């Protein structure tokens, strides 16, 4: 949901879009999917024609960014560093999940790699715990 104070900035962002620009969609997913990155292919008088990574086209309204045939929650949003980080994190989690439930993949990891992964995990969790205690 875009609040009134941000609405003018959002409308200015929509007006600034041109072919080749990227946007995020799917920021409010209920199913654990990360936001997707779309690229603006072309514009009509009333719509943005965006394409996903597989070149599948989706249409969004130029006046409010909402998905044609969808709700305002399906709208495009600026592609921020925070959104890019969420996409990257989701990819890492999928990778970890993929190897963790496959015994053949776990057994194929050399011992030094597993030790390094464990050390990185322990260090990261300790730093995260310290950050949480400060806040």
Task: Give the tens place of pLDDT for each residue, 65-123.
Answer: 999 998 767 789 999 898 888 888 888 888 888 888 888 888 899 999 999 999 999 99
pLDDT at residue 34, rounded to an integer? 75
Q: If we measure between CA atoms, which residue out of 99, 89, 98, 96 comes closest to residue 32?
A: 89
Per-domain residue ranges for the chain? 4-80, 83-134
Specify the pTM: 0.70
Strands, E assignment, the chain: 22-25, 36-43, 47-51, 57-61
Coil, strand or helix: which one is 110?
Answer: coil
Which pLDDT score is estimated for 90? 84
Q: Report the SS3 class of residue 122.
A: helix
**73 contact partners, CB below 8 Å, separation of at least 6:** 1, 28
CATH architecture for residues 4-80:
Roll (2.30)
Residue 27: per-residue pLDDT: 63
Cβ-based neighbour number of residue 130 at 10 Å? 9
Residue 103 and residue 121: Cα distance in Å, rounded?
Answer: 20
């Amino acid at each position: 949901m875009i609040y009134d104070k941000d609405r003018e900035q959002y409308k200015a962002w929509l007006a600034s879009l041109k072919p080749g620009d990227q946007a995020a969609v799917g920021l409010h997913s209920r199913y654990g999917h990360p936001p997707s990155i779309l690229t603006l292919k072309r514009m009509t008088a009333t719509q943005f024609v965006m394409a996903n990574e597989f070149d599948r086209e989706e249409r969004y309204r130029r006046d409010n960014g909402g998905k044609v045939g969808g709700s305002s929650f399906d709208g495009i949003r600026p592609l921020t560093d925070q959104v890019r980080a969420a996409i990257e994190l989701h990819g890492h989690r999928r990778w970890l999940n993929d190897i963790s439930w496959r015994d053949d993949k776990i057994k194929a990891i050399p011992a030094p790699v597993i030790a390094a992964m464990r050390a990185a995990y322990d260090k990261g969790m300790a730093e995260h715990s310290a950050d949480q205690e400060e806040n």
